[in-house]
Amino acid sequence: MSGIKHTILCVDDEKNIANALKRLLRKEGYRLLTASSGQEGLDLLKENEIHLVLCDQRMPEMSGTEFLANVKAIYPDIIRIILTGYTEVDAITESINKGNIYKFFLKPWDDQSLKLEIKQALEQYDLIKANRALHEKVLMQNKDLQKINDNLESIVKKRTEDLEIQNQALELSRIILEDIPIPVIGVGAEGMIVMINSKVQELFDNGRRINVGKNFSDYFQGDIKEVMTSAMSSNSPHNIRRCLLSEKLYEIDFTPLSGMFSGRGIVLTFRPMEN
């Protein structure tokens, strides 16, 4: 039973017809169920997963077309095939036009043709099911993708807001640095000047300008350079209490960077003193 893929329900009130269909389909690898009336067939449909229904048109209480109309309403995916006589073709045609019947066969049927039609009908059933499953999978993936896109948009929006805040903070820091009323110089670990404010240009009265990107030793030698080097190597604050620059007296504080920038630079502040 584990290798059986499809189940077929044969509905006919004549046992010899049902037995003939059983003999015809027994070797085709199907699971076969039989019912002797439309109501019995509907009961079996409730209890089993059935893929194709094959029924007779002329049955008591419920005709084949009425039975298959009920099957379509309740189980629209099941393939529906009817067996009929020549005198009932008009009724069958009307039922086909309404979509209740996939195909009909005239009695007596050709065994090989009927087996081939059943095989092709079940292949179509499998294809429809596979396409539906694929469609549902695509819809689910699209939903997942939409969630990812929505989340990505939220992340980008948050990142943009953070960058705007950081830019504002940087701009405010630059303005604050410029407004500090004493000279401030930032020096990197390799001795390069990486930051200055406008007051720095007052350190020299000979018109010489201090520029970012230049080496600290291009402007300062002697005690200032030695103390800065010592403060950098020891990673501890140092101070020169009285330093004469261009006839002006300054107290210089050497403050190494801390935290994640520890060892990567130092800040020098020059506080004017009374001569």
Rounded alpha-carbon distances, angstroms, from residue 23 to 2, 7, 35, 52, 273: 21, 15, 15, 17, 116
User: Are 17 and 108 part of one and the same domain?
Assistant: yes
Q: Give the tens place of pLDDT for each residue, 94-116.
A: 777 776 788 888 888 888 988 99
pLDDT exceeds 90 at position 192? yes
23 in the same domain as 104: yes
For residue 215, pLDDT beyond 90:
yes
Distance between CA atoms of residues 83 and 10, nearest Å: 10
Pairing of strands 7-11, 52-56: parallel
Domain boundary among 134, 155, 172: 134
Contact 91, 48 (CB under 8 A): no
Residues 6+ apart with CB under 8 A from 120: none
User: Is residue 246 included in any domain, yes or no?
Assistant: yes
pLDDT value, residue 48: 93
- Write the CATH number for 31: 3.40.50.2300
Query: Does any domain span residue 47?
Result: yes
249 domain-assigned:
yes
Are 124 and 23 in a shared domain?
yes
pTM: 0.53
Residues 193 and 86 in one domain: no
Residue 1 lies in a domain: no
b (16+ CB within 10 A) / e for 45-68 = beeeebbbbbbbbebeebbbbebb
Look at 78-92, 169-183, 198-212, 228-242 and tell me which has the smallest mean pLDDT: 78-92
* Last residue in a domain, options 134, 164, 198: 134
When divided into structural domains, the chain yields a total of 2
Asked if residue 85 belongs to a domain, the reply is yes
8 A C-beta contact, residue 105 and residue 117:
yes
Same domain, 121 and 185: no
pLDDT surpassing 70 at residue 180? yes
Residue where a domain stops, chosen among 71, 104, 134: 134
Residue 257 in contact with residue 267, Cβ under 8 Å? yes
Please state, rounded to an integer, the average pLDDT across all residues of the chain. Answer: 87
Mean pLDDT of the region 81-97: 75
pLDDT of 260 higher than 80:
yes
The candidate with the shortest Cα–Cα distance to 109, out of 83, 90, 86, is: 83
Widest pairwise Cα distance in the chain: 128
- Domain residues for the domain of 63 are 7-134
Task: Give the rounded percent of residues in the chain with a pLDDT score beyond 90.
Answer: 39
Average pLDDT over residues 193-205: 90
Is 141 among the domain residues? no
- Predicted local confidence at residue 1, as pLDDT: 45
Q: What is the mean pLDDT of residues 5-12?
A: 90
What is the spatial distance between Cα 13 and Cα 60, in angstroms, rounded to a whole number? Answer: 8
Same domain, 13 and 104: yes
Residue 87 pLDDT > 70: no
Instruction: Name the least confident of 31-40, 42-51, 173-182, 253-262.
Output: 173-182
Tell me: do 20 and 118 sit in the same domain. Answer: yes
pLDDT tier, 184 (very low <50, low <70, confident <90, very high otherwise):
very high
- Which pLDDT belongs to residue 14? 85
* Residue 104 within a domain: yes
pLDDT of 3: 60
Instruction: Kindly state whether residue 109 falls inside one of the protein's structural domains.
Output: yes
Whichever domain contains 207, its CATH number is 3.30.450.20
Provide mean pLDDT across the span 109-137.
89
Residues 49 and 120 placed together within one structural domain of the fold: yes
